[in-house]
Structures are given as C-alpha cells and as structure tokens.
Amino acid sequence: MYILSLDGKEGESEGAYALEDDNGDKALYLFEDEDDASRYAGLLEADDYLNLNVVEIDDEVAIEACNRYNYKYVIISTDDIVFPPYDYIQED
C-alpha cells in the first residue's frame, strides 16, 4: 500500500495526507497502486497544494494504527477513480 506523506516545512509538522469530511473527521487514503497515488499527488500539486511524497507502507501496520487511534481510512483500489475535493467559493 501507499500513502501520501506531507513534507514538513520549517515550523510545520510532517505527517500523512488525510481527507477531511464535512463533520471534521479525517480519513487516511491507502492506495493499492503506486501510480494511482502519484497521480493523486500530482492533481493536488497542480492545485497548489502542499508537496506530497508517495511512501510505501505495510497495509496491516497502517490499518492497525488507524484502528488503535480511531482514525478512519479508505483503501483506494486499482479500480477506483478518485479526485481531490475542490471547494468553490462564489465571489460577489
């Protein structure tokens, strides 16, 4: 499995990319395919998001950590198509 890792800039913490829902809950994206993770990171980068690295991880360890700390996770299979969320703000 692969996750997207945040590059910690000076004064910022490093960590894994997680998507936040409308309730403020975050879910870690676990990609089965490295190319899918790279494409998703590229879409985020094109939208001027933080620089992300694709990191291979042991899926059992990641899922166990999510369960232990009550974090949600989403497994992105090779058959899934995901796009980063975009918040559109209307200006008057």
pLDDT (tens digit per residue) in 33-90: 999 999 999 988 887 777 889 999 999 999 998 999 888 999 999 999 888 876 533 3
Domain count, the chain: 1
Give residue 45's identity as a one-letter amino acid code: E
Segments forming the whole domain that contains residue 44: 2-8+19-76
User: Is pLDDT at 32 greater than 60 in this prediction?
Assistant: yes
- Name the band, by pLDDT with cuts 50, 70 and 90, for residue 9: low
pTM: 0.80
Quote the tokens at residue 87.
Answer: 């918040």
Asked whether residue 82 is assigned to any structural domain, the reply reads: no
Task: Tell me if 1 sits within 8 A of 31, measured CB to CB.
Answer: yes
Asked whether residue 52 is assigned to any structural domain, the reply reads: yes
Asked whether residue 37 is assigned to any structural domain, the reply reads: yes
Pairwise CA distance, residues 68 & 82, whole Å? 26
